[in-house]
Homo-oligomer: A and B are copies of this chain.
Amino acid sequence: MTVIHFSRGIPPREAIPSAAISECTAALLSTEADRVFQYAPIGRHTGDQELREQLGKFHSVDPDRLFVTNGSLQALDLLAAHLLRDTAEPQVLVEAPTYDRAVQIFERHGARVSGVPLRHDGIDLDVLKERLRTDVPAFVYLIPDFQNPSGVTTSEDKRRELVRLSAEYGFTILEDIPYRGLRLGGTAPTSLAELADSTDGARVLTIGSLSKVLSPGLRVGYVIGPADMPRALAVLAESTYLSPAPLLQAVAAQALSHGLVRENIERVRELLRPRHDAAVEAVRQKLGDVHLCVPEGGYYISVHLPVHTDEVSFLTAARDDGLALTRGSAFYPADAAPPPGTVFLRLPFQALDPEEFAEGVRRLAAAAERAE
């Protein structure tokens, strides 16, 4: 029996335009080899200037507000160091479930990380407000578009309220938007950063990445924030890892300036559309009403699957049935958990063809039935 992998959230090979990126690289090396194999110049640890300008255009923001990192995880790491360093016992609020590595990073930087339940349209605002009344966090970390791991997109109304709360209580929002470009239908809600621009006192930092829209191997992540942020993060970067590799930043700048990223986003959307549609259909048909939301893009659909056993036993049994699954409880911070009697399962559809996905869900349904 072939194992079906509902596991890693990495781009399928065909979503990465390797040949075109190779061409960008070759063109660059013919003129810029001396520069890109040297250290980045002092004062340029905020990022390659051409890349900052291209990313500025891409996001319609001033390039001076951009800071480039070695992948967006490094952005989270530097931001956590920056935002948490002057606070004793800082608290960070996250969606529950959320991206597990983000929680690990915040904890490593000394934060107490607490989960606020995620609904089909974003974080539970009643619970959040209740929390804010007793304790204002250093920041709230959100993945508002096609969230990893749940697939949930935060609604326009909730975004407006979140930004208003940021201004009222004086906390920062980190919005992490690696999947935002991968919308397959519906209308994109306004980004939190854009809403903050028109809200006095609101503070939103945006974390972006080229991993899902161009190439993860380039390791290009970035932060968009106020104009004083890049310099502050550069000081930290200089005593962490200096800078991302100049060559890869220059390649990313070329790819953006040649329109390769926009072009590739269209290609990836076409690639994802049938996989997405089949995934939504398969989950609805075989598992019923257990999905957290119907995602309108991204990589993931997710479920709270009712089972009458514990998670480890369920995953072990599922593995014997030919299913590779990620442990869903790992996506919850320590003080949160899936609803009682369920396991949380992230089902990435981006790399599975429709038949594979449907077969995987069939196996899942059978496993759940046996576990009842």
Seen from chain A, the residues whose Cβ lies within 8 Å of a Cβ on chain B are 8, 10-11, 13, 16, 18-19, 21-22, 25-26, 29-30, 33-34, 36-40, 42, 69-71, 73-74, 77, 81, 101, 104-105, 108, 211, 215-219, 238-248
Contact = CB atoms under 8 A, between A and B. Distances in A.
Interface centre among A10, A18, A241, A246 (most CB of B within 10 A): A241
A30 B104 CA distance: 38
Given A16-B34, A33-B19, A218 B245 contact: yes
Contacts of A218: 37, 245, 247
Q: Which of A16, A25, A40, A243 has the most CB of B within 10 A?
A: A25
A77 B247 contact: no
B10 A38 contact: yes
Nearest to A17: B37
A34 B8 contact: no
Contacts of A241: 69-71, 73-74, 77, 219, 241
A262 B240 CA distance: 28
A73 B240 CA distance: 6
A235 to B, nearest CB: 9
Contacts of A211: 39
A247 B249 CA distance: 13
A238 B239 CA distance: 19
A105 to B, nearest CB: 5
Given A70-B241, A247-B217, A33 B18 contact: yes
Contacts of A247: 217-218, 248
A324 to B, nearest CB: 12
A25 B240 CA distance: 27
A194 B111 CA distance: 40
B101 A38 contact: no
Q: Counting chain B CB atoms within 10 Å of each CB, which of A19, A38, A42 scores highest?
A: A38
Contacts of A69: 241
A370 B39 CA distance: 36
